[in-house]
Amino acid sequence: MFRTLTLAPPDAIFGLTEAFGRDPNPDKINLGAGVFKDEAGRTPVLAAVTAAERRLVDGERSKVYRPIVGEARYGELVRDLVFGDEPPPGLGDRCVTAHSPGGTGALRVVGECLAKLPRRPTVWVTTPTWANHRAIFSAAGLRLEALPYFDATANALDFGALLDGLNRPAPGDVVLLHGCCHNPTGVDPSPTQWQQIAERLSARELLPLVDFAYQGFGDGLQEDAQGVRMLAERLPELIVCSSFSKNFGLYNERTGAVSILAENADAAELVRSNLKVAIRSNYSNPPAHGANIVRTILDDAELASGWRAELAMMRDRIRGMRTLFVETLAAKRASLDGAAILRQRGMFSLIPGVGPAAAQSMRDKYSVYIVDSGRINVAGITPSNVERLCDALVGVL
Ligand SMILES: Cc1ncc(COP(=O)(O)O)c(C=O)c1O
């Protein structure tokens, strides 16, 4: 039977990490996968996480199954992180939060729930978007369509085209937006633009699905949630998929959540029951460890403030490297718009003019690994590799 299969292509990003591993060059640079790295190029375990794990090891008495949607307390803490400690009145009764295996797990469970709606919606994604969005929603049986988003020439949001594009989906369709730190462009709407997006979604009766994988990596935990919170105030229904892979550094613990706002408490019960069915037939119930860590940290004032400080350190390091990158490019007289790169937020930057051929030559000639689309992970830049990175970019441009 298996001989009838055709060879599937390697994953664009994990495949790049494998190729990086095989490269014997001691000066190789990996700016592919979206993971935070410190000045020494390591992806550390946060101190708050280690402290929480110590407590968990000492206190854990059983590994019995968790509820299908995870622990209620975890759900409350995630809800407050997303919607704030003082959310709009009544939001608590309208909101169902389920613990999921990472942000990917959250998106997939949402996809399966959407595919069961009596009128199966189309999912509209920004151009470009995280490559896995298409794979996840088509695997769940949904049709995808593209919305304009990025103006490659200006290296900026094409807001007029996005607003216009929002006139195309049919009422009831789903619009997938990045809560902050858009992957791969680093280009986000301003608060005023979020307000206009919320109004357009409401007027056109569209359902926003916010992928919130980088809360705290842009301008801060609260600042990064402004867009999501505006949508929550303006719209009767909203879906948010959170990932704690990046902001808690829990990549391999597969920790995330889906929060769904329904128009009232009765509709929220319908949502909860259907979410449970989608989860039960998928992975049955969530893996506990990562969520235990997040709950332990967020429920303890001291651990939570330590975590916020570590998150700020990660954010500041990425910003510092963005500035250093732009300054080094300028010193080499590279023909790139530094101001546009500095306006971007989060881990990523999409380098104009770099496509698959240039990315390939960066690998072959310079052992610099970036995604074929020209996306670089700014968090992989260090003071000791920035010169070589910029030489490679200038070389291929
Ligand atoms: C935009 C976006 N959404 C979701 C995810 C998934 O995160 P997780 O590793 O928690 O599944 C990522 C990870 O890179 C991402 O960039």
The atom number, within ligand 1, closest to the CA of 133 reads 3
Atom of ligand 1 nearest to the CA of 211: 3
Q: Is the CB of 102 under 6 A from ligand 1?
A: yes
Confidence of residue 206 (pLDDT cuts 50, 70, 90): very high
Q: Give mean pLDDT, residues 37-48.
A: 94
248 lines ligand 1 (CB under 6 A): no
Q: Is the pLDDT of residue 85 over 90?
A: no
pLDDT confidence of residue 337: 84
In this predicted structure, the answer to whether residue 132 has a pLDDT above a threshold of 90 is yes
- Of 14, 183, 240, the residue with max ligand 1 atoms within 8 A of its CB, to mutate for a pocket test, comes to 183
Residue range 279-335, pLDDT digits in tens: 999 999 999 999 999 999 999 999 999 999 999 999 999 999 999 999 999 999 888
Say yes or no: do domains 10-44+309-396 and 65-299 share a fold. Answer: no
- Residues 394, 371: Cα–Cα separation, whole Å: 17
Which of 124, 49, 80 minimizes the C-alpha distance to 225?
80
Distance 213 CA to ligand 1 centre (A): 5
Q: Which percentage of the chain shows pLDDT scores above 70?
A: 100
Instruction: Give 88 Cα–ligand 1 centroid separation in angstroms.
Output: 27
pLDDT at 248: 98
pLDDT (tens digit per residue) in 135-174:
999 999 999 999 999 999 899 999 999 999 999 999 999 9
pLDDT for 271 equals 97
255 lines ligand 1 (CB under 6 A): no
Q: 9-23: per-residue pLDDT in tens?
A: 888 788 888 899 999
Q: Which atom of ligand 1 is nearest to the CA of 256?
A: 10
Please report, for the chain, the start and end positions of each structural domain, with discontinuous segments joined by +.
10-44+309-396, 65-299
Inform me whether the pLDDT recorded for 387 exceeds 90: yes
65-299 has which fold?
Aspartate Aminotransferase; domain 2 (3.40.640)
User: In this predicted structure, what is the pLDDT of residue 277?
Assistant: 97
Instruction: Provide the pLDDT confidence category of residue 96 given band limits of 50, 70 and 90.
Output: very high
Q: What is the CATH number of domain 10-44+309-396?
A: 3.90.1150.10
Task: Indicate which atom in ligand 1 lies nearest the CA of residue 107.
Answer: 4
Looking at every residue in the chain, the average pLDDT score rounds to: 95
Residue nearest to atom 15 of ligand 1 (CA): 213
Q: Which of 36, 130, 214 to mutate to test the pocket of ligand 1 (most atoms within 8 A of CB)?
A: 130
Q: Whose CA is nearest to atom 2 of ligand 1?
A: 213
Predicted confidence at residue 87, as pLDDT, reads 84
Q: How far is the CA of 60 from the centre of ligand 1 (A)?
A: 29
Question: pLDDT tens-digit profile of 212-249?
Answer: 999 999 999 999 999 999 999 999 999 999 999 999 99
The predicted model gives 23-51 an average pLDDT of 94
More confident position, 108 or 18: 108
Catalytically active residues, by annotation: 130, 211, 246
> How many angstroms is it from 156 CA to the middle of ligand 1?
22
Ligand 1: residue whose CA is nearest its atom 14? 34
pLDDT for the residue 215:
98
333-370 pLDDT tens trace? 888 888 999 999 999 999 988 899 999 999 999 999 99
